[in-house]
Amino acid sequence: MGECLRKACPCLETLWQRIFSDKKASPGEGGVHGGSGGGGGGGGGFSSSGEVRQPSPSPAPTLERVPESGCIYTAIWPFESRHTDELSFQEGDLFSVISRSGDWWTARRIDKNGRVLDTGIVPSNYLARAESLEMQPWYFGTMNRFEAQSHLLGPGNDRGAFLIRHSEKDNVGYVLSVRSLNRVKHFKIHGDENIFYVEHNHQFSSLIDLVEHYSINTLTNTGTLGNPCKRKKPTTPDLNHFTVDEWELPKEEFTLEEELGTGYFADVYRGRWKNIINVAIKILKSDSELNHREFQREVQILKSLRHRHLIALFAVCTATTPYYIITELMEKGSLLSFLRSPEGQNQDIAALVDMGAQVADGMSYLEEKNSIHRDLAARNVLVGEDYICKVADFGLARVIKEPFYITEDKKIPYKWSAPEAISHGMFSNKSDVWSFGVLLYEITTHGGVPYPALSNQEVYEQVSRGYRMPAPAKCPDFLYKIMLKCWSAEPGDRPDFKSLKMQLDSSSYELD
């Protein structure tokens, strides 16, 4: 740990060397637990020459010091504890991590001398390695261009404000995003582990050197870099660490606010947990056996699935009816309503393609987990701050062991369903891919209704004969080709979600 703290706090090098160069006390040199002669502490006695030794002050209790093995983390944001086992801390506090368990870590908060102040559980996304790239005020980790734009165009950032991020797109790598008046420019950072450059004639051995250079030298058509972008405080992935494994919470801890929407078996409300965190509360409409099964099915699936582009389950309330499902709140509502709103109407094709890529990313995770959705549509995707899209509404989802899941369930969304799902009730990841093609149609038409003027039965008959929706107006050719591939008659001819995400990433009009 010493080496890590030296890098984090070079100004304390002298003090650090003095502290850790102290030798361990040898037997007879005293200590908290007593030594030889006149007992523990600082009692009087005689020196070897026979002189009276004056009593020394009682030593302060020995504080535990973190061993030099292991590394130091620092808090990037302040955090207020929500459970007795958790630690509150301030930005800049130092930590030594004891154990890592998911998104919540057990850590010691330490002072600049490495002495332990207290121990408890902390959210891991509030910490960064003290000597790492994440410690740089301008490095924002993995982020897409829309998140970067939202940060840079936010309050407190002027022209020249900048950040470096790692693109969500697999083939891009690091990106320098810079505010220029009321827009943001994105520059791909080329190179490898040892060379970094934006302009080929200016190459650097580190990102820090690159930033320092452009802080005093002009970047093409942009000027010099100004201040690092102001950070937005992150949300925790859970209400507190206790709810990671204990999902049941009393209803009294939640406050209901306005209704956000209604579904087949539940209504959704905005709410708050202990007046601390905004949440979405899904309330089961009735306690009928069918709805109870649907409720339990959705909870079990949500518990087992965690991904950046899937809605996160926080807790459930099932002690009394009606039952509650508590999830994260997505401020911009469903993707369908967003696309139809003035804000959604103003999104350019690059933004729309990125939204499709985010959905494909979440569905690729489901695919890896052998889970199918069965009702993928814009109405079941939620949009949050920074245009983050998350797949939601797992009421029809199934975890599958075989390539197909067969059902006699009649609640089939005809206009979004693959022919084999309608005719034989055969659902699979490839039937989800068909639905994704329809979702891309919804995205490119800003919330248009698929197969307009056709009834459910007419849609099935026409599609079975080979009919496919024509390309929407202003839909790029590459995107329509992806839709047609998703609508292949044979499930085996359809792409998987991993390749769909890669295609959408590489086909973007802009860098990122």
Active site positions, annotated: 375
Read off the tokens for 212. 């320092």
Q: Is the sign of the CA dihedral 128, 132, 135, 136 positive or negative?
A: negative
> Any alpha helices (H) in 119-267, and if so which ranges?
145-152, 207-216
Collapsing DSSP to helix, strand or coil, 62 comes out as coil
Read off the tokens for 133. 């790239």
Please tell me the distance from the alpha carbon of residue 113 to that of residue 76, in angstroms, as a whole number. 20
Collapsing DSSP to helix, strand or coil, 431 comes out as helix
- Asked if residue 282 belongs to a known ligand binding site, the reply is yes
- Angle between helix 429-444 and 349-368 (nearest 10): 170
Read off the tokens for 11. 């100004």
Q: Which residues contact 391 (CB under 8 A, 6 or more apart)?
A: 309, 310, 311, 359, 362, 363, 366, 373, 376, 380, 381
Query: Residue 301: enclosing H or E segment and its boundaries?
Result: helix 289-304
Read off the tokens for 313. 């389950």
Residue with structure tokens 């292991």? 70
Annotated binding site: 282
Annotated binding site for ATP: 282
